[in-house]
Amino acid sequence: MQQDYLQYQQPTAAPIERSARSGTHLAAIFFLLAISLLYIRSNVSRSPKQLNMAALDVKTLSGRPLNPAAFQGKAVVLNFWAPWCGPCQAETPWLQQLQAAHPNDLVVIGVDNDPETYADAALFAASARVTYPIVQMSGAMVNAVGAIDSIPTTFYIAASGKVVHTVIGAISEARMESYVSDALRR
C-alpha cells in the first residue's frame, strides 16, 4: 500500500506592491503636516510680547474713553469676547470674581469687536452684573494684538506691559486664576 504524503508548505508573504498612488498619498500627508506646522508657528509668533495699555485707545461701548491712568501699575486681563458666545458667557463670572478679588492690582477689560453686537453686549453685561469695563475694539488694539480670529481670546498682561499668557478659547477657572497670579507676580 502506497501512501501519499502531502507536504505542507508554509505560505509566503505576497510581495508588497507600492503603487504610484501610495507615494502621492504620502507626499500629500507630509505637505499637509508642513502647512499645519507653519500655520501653528505663525499664530504663535503673532502674539504680542508687550502691550502698552495706554496706547490702545480704549473706549466703552457708548464711546466714552477710559482713562489710561486706570491701567498704570496694574496687571490687565484683556478678554476678547462676544455676547452670543457660550464659552465667553461661561468665563464672565470668573472674570468678575478675579476683578473683585484684586481691585487694587488688576484690571479686567472685556472687548467686543463687533459694533453690531454692542447693544447686546451691554444688555448681557447688565444682566450678569459685570462691573469691569466692556469696551469697543479699536484700530490701535488691532495694530497691537492683530486680528482676533477666535473668541474668547484673552491676554494676561503684567503691570510692566509684558504679555505673560495668551489664551485662545475658554479655560477653566483654576487655570484663569493661575494665569492672573503669574501676571500679578511679574
At 15 the pLDDT is 58
Determine, yes or no, domain membership for 3: no
DSSP string, 139-185: HHHHHHH----SSSEEEEE-TTSBEEEEEES---HHHHHHHHHHHHH
Average the pLDDT over each of 79-83, 144-148, 172-176 and give the range with the smallest value. 144-148
DSSP string, 12-32: PPPPPP--HHHHHHHHHHHHH
| C-alpha cell of residue 171 | 479655560
Determine, yes or no, domain membership for 133: yes
- The most confident of the ranges 5-19, 32-46, 134-148, 155-169 is 155-169
pLDDT score of 82 more than 90: yes
Q: How far apart are CA 24 and CA 45, in angstroms?
A: 32
**Average model confidence (pLDDT) for the chain?**
84
| Cell 486681563 -> residue | 77
| Cell 497670579 -> residue | 181
Q: For the beta carbon of residue 112, count every other beta carbon within 10 angstroms.
A: 24
Same domain, 90 and 103: yes
pLDDT score of 44 more than 50: no
Exposure b/e, 56-77, CB count within 10 A at least 16 = b: bbbeebeeeebeeeebeebbbb
**157-164: average pLDDT:** 95
Same domain, 66 and 136: yes
Same domain, 37 and 85: no
Same domain, 85 and 142: yes
Exposure b/e, 137-174, CB count within 10 A at least 16 = b: bbeebeebbeebeebbbbbbbbbebebbbbbeebbeee
At 43 the pLDDT is 41
Provide the CATH number for the domain around residue 147.
3.40.30.10
Nearest Cα neighbor of 162 from 70, 45, 52 is 52
- Using one digit for the tens of pLDDT, what is the confidence trace for 97-141? 999 999 999 999 999 989 999 999 999 999 999 999 999 998 889
